[in-house]
Structure 1
Amino acid sequence: MPPSTSKSAPPDRLRVGECVVDIASREVMAPGARRPSRLTPKAIAVLRVLAEQPGQVVSREQLLAEVWPDTLPTNDVVTQAITQLRKALQYAGDEAGRAGGIETIAKTGYRLLAPVQWEHAAPAVVPVAPVAVPLAPEARVAPAVEAAPAPVLAALPAPSRPRRPWRALSILVFAVLVAVLLAFWWRQHRAAPGALAEEGGDERVVGMPRLPYRLITSGGGFDLTPTLSPDGSMVAYASISESRPGTSIRIQTTSNSPSRELVAPGAGESDRLPAWSLDGRQLAFARQGEDGSCRVMVAAANGAASEREVARCDHTELLSFSWVPGRNALMFGSMTGGNASGGIRELDLETGAWRDLRYGSRARDFDYAPKYSPDGRWIAFVRNPQLGGVWVMPAQGGEARRLTRERAEIRGFDWLPDSSGIVFGRRVDSQSRLYRLDLETRRLRDLGLNDAESPSISPDNGQLAFVQRRPQFALFRLQRSNAHGGYEREHLFASNGRDAQPMISPDGRHLAFTSDRSGEYALWWADLARPDSLHPIPGLLPETRQPVDWSADSRTLLAIGRDAEGRAQLYEVTPAESRVNQLPVPAPRPLQGLHVGPGTRLMVLSAEPGGDATLILYDRSRKPWQELARLEDVSQARYDSSTGQVFFTRFSSSGLWRIGADLAPNGLALVDADAPARWRYRSWALAGNGRAYYLSSTAECSATGSWLGAASASAGDTCLAANEFSTINGFSIDQQDGALYMAIAETDGAGIGFMTLPKQEAPAFGVVSKLLSDLGKPPS
């Protein structure tokens, strides 16, 4: 007779609502589905954690700890797993109709609300032929998985008795292992401040859990680009002045003491980018004038002497510098303007002499924010910040190698005190986060700080300062007013999150945008004639780098999203039907998809290994897609159906170009030589008839609109939002009535956070592994 299933055996199947999940095969069978869907191992592990606590909130931190132990994943992996689960369990909704029965608890975690039941699969009955050879007492037959001819089982020899000394040693090792595991368990599960404490059998609330950091500036303004003194006791930062336009350098202790101004900039000047010298006595900073002039200044940190100019940086777009260890010198990144230089170089502050560093770089590369490691052996920098990565090279020069694999928006970095790695900021979905990267192992760990960027680490004791900015962006329609020549603002949808990249369809009826308003990042859609149609598109995790592109008939759109493995893919979305279709684009790393006319041609902007991007024209009617033409060095592209032209920007320089839809070189023409700036390559939109509109920022107006090219001659700049910043990663124009669709900050501000840098903890099994290594192997 078939063996009975033991009660202690793990269940084989999980019933979630009306869906049945086979744990071993990771297959989900939904009612009405033609075939089962397959989950990734991590998605099935997340489901098991949620199912073990049905109806209870499971935090993202718990999911990361249980599903991704001993790794350093980003928060993206949880979002991707939840998205895949909701898609597979879309018919297992709870009574409230939530897809997959999984509820998002904003800023906390997730809760499985669908009914859950663990089941044991009926064991397969397999006819077994009689076996003449007796089995040893220790031999056990594994349960059959599928019907197969009965195997002939040979007798298993009885195991040899181990030598007594090694039995004692094994007991000792096992005891040590148990002790280490208990210590690890206690460390992970000990009560944290703010938990419920028991006293006399009753529960009492101790208080909120303590954050690992504290804000040392919290005035509600904008405090940016912090730099810590070597001992971590002082911080300097750039702060937007309340009394006049522009910024000044403020300095204070890291214990929330009142700040003081380092030096007073002149009228119409702004001081920014402070950098503390390695001896703690001086601060270098940049001073920018209203006329676009730029000077690098040095001042005593104690304010005892006036500042002095050490270099000119006239009309530079993206300035960066840091101090050189052991010498009175500054190291500069690539510079444009009057003192242009394509590579990294050093300035001796005593002699005024420049020295170019010899290392591997191309003419079009822009190397930003170079910094020496504390031990003086290495130089790290960001190459091509628009599509950037962190690179490192020997301090004496030589070949540079890439540290970060994924090209992303790097939001500052700094070295660890022991030079073993870096901490860097990068944009993830709707916010910036800090990550710790080990140079030797290449392990990456999320530091768990929300809305954090621009890290600064004190080399003496590992204190960490960073910028924490938590803006709330809402969507607005800006309509030209005939009464006063400006724009009237209309708030579109109420939101408690961050709405961005509003793209209006060609017919002016449909709006698509990205948002975290539901607690997780998603692509949203609404028919503007029916506000109640607003909803997220399930099954798509959009990228933040480029906005979506509508088809000419306003029915579908192209969007870049990430699949279950975190890879960028091109998707065709029918938002009114919530249908998402992954396209078989040959480009290995798509950044943007573009409709080109009503036919079967599409354009795809694809990232190149060296940090560039290429615009490729495809015929999608062929299988595989046929490449028709390509255009190199493109950062963003837009198709103007009224002229049949493709407008685009470049990574290597500022300006706007246009070219025919066939990408023929003889059709290339320059539209505007100066704007958009190469760092604001997404802050422009087409208005039809070959006109392009550009958003920039000045000291007097946070969001300034201007026409580009020939259209700029008859129209001046317009201040669209004097005190509120707009998002820089996409806006759109209704070509029917000229209305602008923008994301503008309703609440904004930035403060400086401060904490002790967490120590890199060794894995719990490290002690045991070392002990086993020291003990050696038993004799054979």
Structure 2
Amino acid sequence: MALQYWVGDFFIDLSRNQITRSEQSQTIPPKALAVLTHLAKHQRKVVSQDELLSEVWPDTIVTPNTLQRSIAQLRKALGEDRKQQSYIRTHAKQGYSLECDIVWQDDDSIPQDKTAPREEAPSPSSPRPEIDIKPVNPSHQTQTIKPNRFPIFALVGLVLLVFVIFKYSPPEQNSQLVFDRIQAVTATDRKEFGPSYSPDGEYIIFNRYLDKLCVNKIWARNIHTQKETELTPEWGTYGRHTLSPDGKKLVFISEEDCTIPLTQNTCYNLVSLDFQKALVSPQQPNVLMRCKNSAIKNPVWLNNNNLAILHKETNRWRLINYSVRDNTSRVLYDLENGNLAYFDYSITDGLIAVTSHHQDGQLYIDMLDSKGALLSSHPIDYPDEISQHRAISPNFSPMEDELIFSTGRRLFSLTYDGKVSKIQLPLDQSASSPDFHPNGQRALVIKGQYDSDIASIPLSQPGVIDTPSEEDVSKLYPSTSRSISGEDDGIFQPGGDLIAFTSRRSGEDQVWVTDGHNLQQLSQFPIDTNIYGINWSADGQSILANANNKLNKIFLDGRVEGFPLEAPVDQLFQWDSVDNSALLSLTIKGVTKFSEVDLDTLEPRFIIDKPINWAQRSENGQLIYMDHMNRFWQPGPAEDQLIDKLYLQGGEKRFVIKDNIIYSINPENQLWSFNLATRDFNLIKEMHKDIDYLTDINQENLLISYVVAAKKEVAELILR
């Protein structure tokens, strides 16, 4: 097939995916150009939709909407629309035709008039060649030309230059997306998240946190005037929002504490408000649906004015279709032997993209139509740059048949058949997966830095209550090793003076140790690493770390030993280096299971199927765990027993066990202890509200991590 040809006054270059006219070039998706080329090969003939779909998308199930989008892209590039069809003509219920002159570049694969002389290939910037070509003067063919050696040397030099450039230049990216710059949208001391554009592209809607607390309000920002408008009058725990296609109704998830917790502490409400009225004055949300014994997240409007929502009962997610008008729901998509992870919806194509964990343990990309019918399902082919167990959240992009996702400081494209390609990203900070503007030329991301520190605090005697002042937490609890990045998981070295912790101070999440004066980075994990749990060995000479969902044993001299578990590790709770076993949460087919793993045989023993918040073993081997409702349990002779004295004492700040005594911080920010032998409960002291976690304790001190600053801002990526 010819790689270059003319359509009227437009020069088509398939090798560069470009259409050029008057030295103005446009980059066009390859599939759209493939449609144009097939129409050009059948100039002025009607080509059916079925033929175009089978020719351009062989062995792939796509809807006619995909073809219509390619036609629209071509018409826009050729400067026409549906009413003015100078180039591509629509034939109702038949197909399309290309109604203009076509001139092919030199290519023997294109049929040509054998009696006509071959024309000289034009450049994109040169005038379009005339159809009538003057015959060659025969006398010019008999002239003797003296050889000139300079062009030969120049040609050899050019070949060598091309070889060097080809060999040593970086490989060209497969993706057509190139981001030119990033610009801030919000720049406050608050923390923003969940940005999206209104369907008309006139507003950016986002959530803004109150200081370091977990409550937020929903705001809208006019992209022309930059005016910000508060949409909700009260602070709440609001999740992802979605605006109806007509731009009238804003829907989002509102969380609240259950009045009488039965199966969960948090109740989930699907709420809505009138967007146009909220732009005038904040509106109180109206409840559409309540979930007291199940969870819902990520509502998205469909073209039929229904909502697609992820819904979880027990420990599995499924996709449901909720009718606002009828207040009813039905299952759109579910996996009997797997679990759904994330989804996005394309209004343009009417397609739903779902990432899901299948029976084989791999993450898949499943493409559905708007009614939930499965169109295709492919395992995601992770490149070497991404951890094989990395969770991803892809969104639809302007690229044809491709989605886009972020792993932190890097962007990748994902095709509908599971192929991943890297995209250049102009960021030095982690960013969320982009959400594109309706025109496809810009995208919203959340970027920023989370600043937390670790501190060692003297352990007061039981019964002594100290009330901390309202001063800044960093003044109350001086950091053991201050930085402007996130530090966490501080643990004391057994029999030594070191403190191990995780930190992003070098740009990536790494394991560090300090003696209070000197710092040492132990690990060298790759870009976009996440660490979920570290533990010292009993002899204090090595650390077990859960990095990128894999266990790694890191020695003080920097050596690393991996444990190739078949299932990804969700959280490392505790490591017993003497028995060489670990308490873990493993993800099996997308479902989290509390397990104890023998690290010699790598065989897991599943303790319970329900997700838990934290677990530890005492020195005498007693297992204590805190479930998803923050209740404390320990195994009994027949069934697990609830520790009644610790009812309402559990929280998100974890717990530690030292000398068979449990220490933790309750929701009232009080440090307490519970003796497993005597069953005595004591309040020790009040703690600052900004403490994140209690991470370790010894005879004299306890280690905590606390929030210094949590600044996240909305930014726009602008396409080149």
What TM-score results when the alignment is normalised by the length of structure 1? Answer: 0.55
Name the SS for the 1:476 alignment partner. Answer: strand
Aligned residues of 2:445 and 2:717 also touching (Cα < 8 A): no
Matched residue SS, 2:478: strand
Residue 515 of structure 1 pairs with residue 478 of structure 2: no
Distance apart, 1:234 and its partner CA: 1.0
**Among residues 479, 488, 497, which one is paired with 1:491 in the alignment?**
479
| Pair 1:328-2:305 in alignment | yes
Matched residue, 2:405: 424
Match of 1:747 among 709, 713, 719: 709
1:231–1:461 CA contact under 8 A, matched in 2: no
- The within-5 A match list for 1:56-455 is 212-241=181-210, 246-255=215-224, 257-265=226-234, 269-289=236-256, 294-303=268-277, 309-315=286-292, 319-335=296-312, 343-362=318-337, 365=339, 367=341, 371=345, 374-380=348-354, 391-395=365-369, 396-397=371-372, 403=380, 405=382, 406=387, 410=391, 413-417=394-398, 420-426=401-407, 434-440=411-417, 442-448=419-425, 449=427, 450-453=429-432, 455=434
Indicate the SS of the match to 2:520. strand
1:688 aligns with 2:662: no
Q: 1:233 to 1:278 in 2, by over 3 A?
A: same
CA distance change for structure 1 residues 316 and 709 in 2, over 3 Å: closer, same or farther? Answer: farther
1:504 aligns with 2:459: no
**Could you tell me how far apart the structure 1 residues matched to 2:654 and 2:412 are?**
31
CA distance in 2, matches of 1:260, 1:713: 53
**Distance change (3 Å), C-alpha of 1:411 and 1:579:** closer
Partner residue in 2 for 1:732 = 695
Question: Which amino acid in 2 is paired with 1:232?
Answer: G
Distance across 1 between alignment mates of 2:296 and 2:522: 40
| Structure 2 segments unaligned to the other structure (5+ residues) | 1-116, 122-150, 171-178, 260-265, 469-475
The alignment-based identity, stated in percent, is 15
Could you report, residue by residue, the CA deviation over 1:342-368 in whole angstroms, capped at 9, with x for unpaired residues?
A: 522122111212222243245x84655
The CA distance in 1 between the partners of 2:679 and 2:186, in whole Å, is 41
How do residues 473-492 of structure 1 correspond to structure 2 at under 5 angstroms?
Answer: 473-480=452-459, 484-486=465-467, 489-492=477-480
C-alpha separation between the residues in 2 aligned to 1:709 and 1:397? 53
Aligned to 1:22: none
* 8 Å contact kept, 2:344–2:396: no
Check conservation: 1:247, 1:270, Cα contact below 8 A: yes
Partner of 1:452: helix, strand, or coil?
A: coil
Partner residue of 1:203? none
CA distance in 2, matches of 1:648, 1:585: 26
Q: 1:573 is matched with which residue: 535, 549, 554? A: 554
Separation in 1, partners of 2:679, 2:238: 31
Residue type at the aligned position of 1:235: I
Where does residue 466 of structure 1 map in the other structure?
445
Query: How far apart are residue 422 of structure 1 and its match?
Result: 2.4
Q: 1:424-456 CA deviation, whole Å, 9 max, x = no partner? A: 3445xxxx6554323246123255232212532
Q: Which residue of 534, 552, 555 maps to 2:538? A: 552
Report the Cα offset of residue 611 of structure 1: 2.5
Q: Looking at secondary structure, tell me which structure has more strand per residue.
A: 2
TM-score (norm 2): 0.60
Q: Which runs of 5+ in 1 are unaligned?
A: 1-164, 190-209, 563-567, 759-780
Cα distance, 1:684–1:278 mapped onto 2, change above 3 Å: same
Q: Which amino acid aligns with 1:736?
A: Q
In structure 2, the CA distance between the partners of 1:630 and 1:739, relative to structure 1 (3 Å rule), is same
Aligned to 1:142: none
Whichever residue aligns with residue 688 of structure 1, its letter is: K
Q: Which digits, 9 at most, give the CA deviation of each residue in 1:616-670, with x for residues without a partner?
A: 54374xxxx47585546477875424231344567x987655459xxxx968555
Q: Output the CA distance in 2 between the equivalents of 1:690 and 1:216.
A: 52
Contact conserved, 1:551 with 1:595, CA < 8 A, in 2? Answer: no
The question of whether the paired residues in 2 share the 8 Å contact of 1:437 and 1:445 is answered with no
Aligned-partner Cα distance in 2 for 1:179–1:234:
53
What is the rounded CA distance, in whole Å, between the counterparts of 2:293 and 2:566 in structure 1? Answer: 34
Write the letter of the residue equivalent to 1:684. R
After superposing the two structures, state which structure 1 stretch, 516-525 or 223-232, moved more.
516-525
The structural deviation recorded for 1:610 is 1.4
Amino acid at match of 2:196: T
In structure 2, distance between residues paired with 1:515 and 1:330: 40
CA contact (8 A) 1:688 1:735 kept: yes
Number of residue pairs matched by the alignment: 523
CA separation of 1:248/1:383 partners in 2, compared to 1, >3 Å: closer, same or farther? farther
Amino acid at match of 1:284: V
Q: CA RMSD in A?
A: 5.0
Q: Which residue of 2 aligns with 1:611?
A: 590
> Relative to 1, partners in 2 of residues 1:610 and 1:491: Cα closer, same or farther, differing over 3 Å?
same
CA distance in 2 between counterparts of 1:694 and 1:412 reads 34
- Equivalent residue number for residue 772 of structure 1: none
CA deviation digits over 1:592-632, x for unaligned, max 9? 67876564432374855613466354374xxxx47585546
Instruction: Describe the shift of the 1:592–1:332 C-alpha distance in structure 2 as closer, same or farther (beyond 3 A).
Output: closer
Q: Distance in 2 between matches of 1:712 and 1:461?
A: 62
CA contact (8 A) 2:323 2:329 kept: yes
